Structure 1
């Protein structure tokens, strides 16, 4: 008996295929998300990699990761099955807000959720490589979940090293080393996710892109221009000033410390970027500091 059927419209597009509303007939028609993989993704090396990594993805159990629960064939197409998140993506949420910017509290909460999800993936010796708002889902409770593991790769292994020679990701969120701009021939693959995280958090802060590239040439020029206006001897401070200027131009004057934080994620040199542990620690410290200031303010008003 067929377990899964496509039962509704296309929900979105991901790496190597489209995602549709489906049903799990073994669980009384429970709604699921079914990703039908492109024919090209079924060939040779990637097909083997896909099955191995989907097995890894299906073992990922975290509140901020929407992992693959099954890999199967639906309507003669290779598919991955995931839990359905019915409130769209982070991209949808930010697009709908328009000029209504998120509060500092919301920015930190969403940033922490994404960072916790990435940390869990990295702690399992995996790297996503295509992090972007379109690949972060919003569930029924409003929590964020990282999805689309079509570019997932292990941090070691001969099979993965062959795949690393292929440029993957989305241009506006790809790190300099993914674009092969960087001269650093050896680096932690995890650092590419850190760069993408910086781009995403910037977008959460002001509801518009940091980089809006749609092709390789544009992406290279944008990052080169971004780095060219910084000083090598104090690059983090230079990047921070540039981000603060963009924040202020968008009417944000309450998150300068987040600009300082982002400068450590958007380092051109991957070895100089924060690790995911350091990024999470910094975000939690900012959240706690904000809470303490709010409590202190309430006490002053009360007394």
Structure 2
């Protein structure tokens, strides 16, 4: 499915509210988690590697099987180099976030480990359908109702993270994990950040993650406003859901990979993205609320959960 040439203004369907100061998220500091092993997995030697599931930020994720119980898990081996100034990554940071989370929309961490070689590992719930990027490549574009079901779950996950002052910074199809029942969980917190009150931005807070899904203000640091840091995740979600709808990265023709300058020109100075003319008014409006160029005009995760597109189309909970 390709984008039609006729451009339709996305912002005509519903007014986009300004974000008021009262809507800023209060700072709630995470409690210190207990870094321990799962009762089910006492030792990493109990796990047999079956195959590589993917290469995440600073590590590799494997499908593994417990030798005694035959239970299947996902195992992330982290090999970050603390002396590498180009990769300011602390494994304990990702571990703290995962162990502190308790949401059905966030990947479940079953335990953290450290090998005698100094490698750190995270054992997580295994999602048997993989990630959304593999599904769209295999099956093509998703229907609007399926996208609403996915969006509802990811928004709940983001709403939970943002309430605890965590910005993911790398929302994209490959980081949204699904099972055979289309339950969706946010994964890969390798570049996520726990915000602190009155904290000043630094270079890595802006540029970490996958640039193809970065919001305009992150691509153009001159327009970066730290008050709206959570809005960056909303832009990335909008791009992700639009990719599911058209079946390819939405800013370029199928098969084309973007570069940094192209994305800056498209997202900062290009016209609003057009959708196929069969797209519903509710979906157009929803995407518009996510892809507002000015972060102050983007809807929050909480606001988007009440958007008519999500409320009308999402599947009923079991």
Q: With structure 1 as the length reference, what TM-score do the two structures score?
A: 0.77
For 1:259, the equivalent position in structure 2 comes to 284
Q: d(CA) in 1 for partners of 2:216 and 2:158?
A: 19
The answer on 1:39 being equivalent to 2:77 is: no
Equivalent in the alignment of 1:201: 241
CA contact (8 A) 1:182 1:269 kept: no
Structure 2 partner of 1:299? none
Alpha-carbon spacing, 1:93–1:75, altered in 2? closer, same or farther (3 Å): farther
Assess if the C-alpha contact under 8 Å between 2:193 and 2:205 holds in 1: no
- What is the CA-CA distance between 1:29 and the residue it aligns to? 4.5
Query: How far is 1:89 from its partner?
Result: 0.7
Secondary structure class of the residue paired with 1:94: helix
Q: Taking structure 2 as the reference length, what is the TM-score of the superposition?
A: 0.74
Q: Which runs of 5+ in 2 are unaligned?
A: 1-41
- Matched-pair contact (CA < 8 Å) for 2:251–2:266: no
Segment of structure 1 superposing worse, 14-23 or 179-188: 179-188
Q: Distance in 2 between matches of 1:188 and 1:171?
A: 18
CA distance in 2, matches of 1:142, 1:222: 31
- Alignment partner of 1:150: what SS? coil
Alignment match, 1:234: none
Alignment root-mean-square deviation, CA: 2.9
Count of residue pairs brought into register by the alignment: 267
Counterpart of 1:140 (choices 164, 167, 180) is 180
CA drift of 1:127 comes to 0.9
Partner of 1:296: none
- 2-structure distance, mates of 1:281, 1:17: 36
Displacement after TM superposition at 1:159 (Å): 8.7
TM-superposition CA deviations, 1:21-77 (whole Å, max 9, x none)? 22456x835221111112326869956x43144123112122221033322124732
Alignment check: 8 A CA contact 1:176 1:182 kept: no
Structure number with higher relative contact order (C-alpha < 8 Å, ≥ 6 residues apart): 2
In structure 2, the CA distance between the partners of 1:40 and 1:162, relative to structure 1 (3 Å rule), is farther
Q: In the superposition, relative to structure 1, how do residues 155 and 254 fare at CA in structure 2: closer, same or farther (>3 Å)?
A: same
**Equivalent position SS for 2:49:** strand
Partner of 1:275: 300
The correspondence of residues 79-228 of structure 1 with structure 2, limited to 5 A, is 79-98=121-140, 101-156=141-196, 161=201, 164-165=204-205, 167-211=207-251, 218-228=259-269
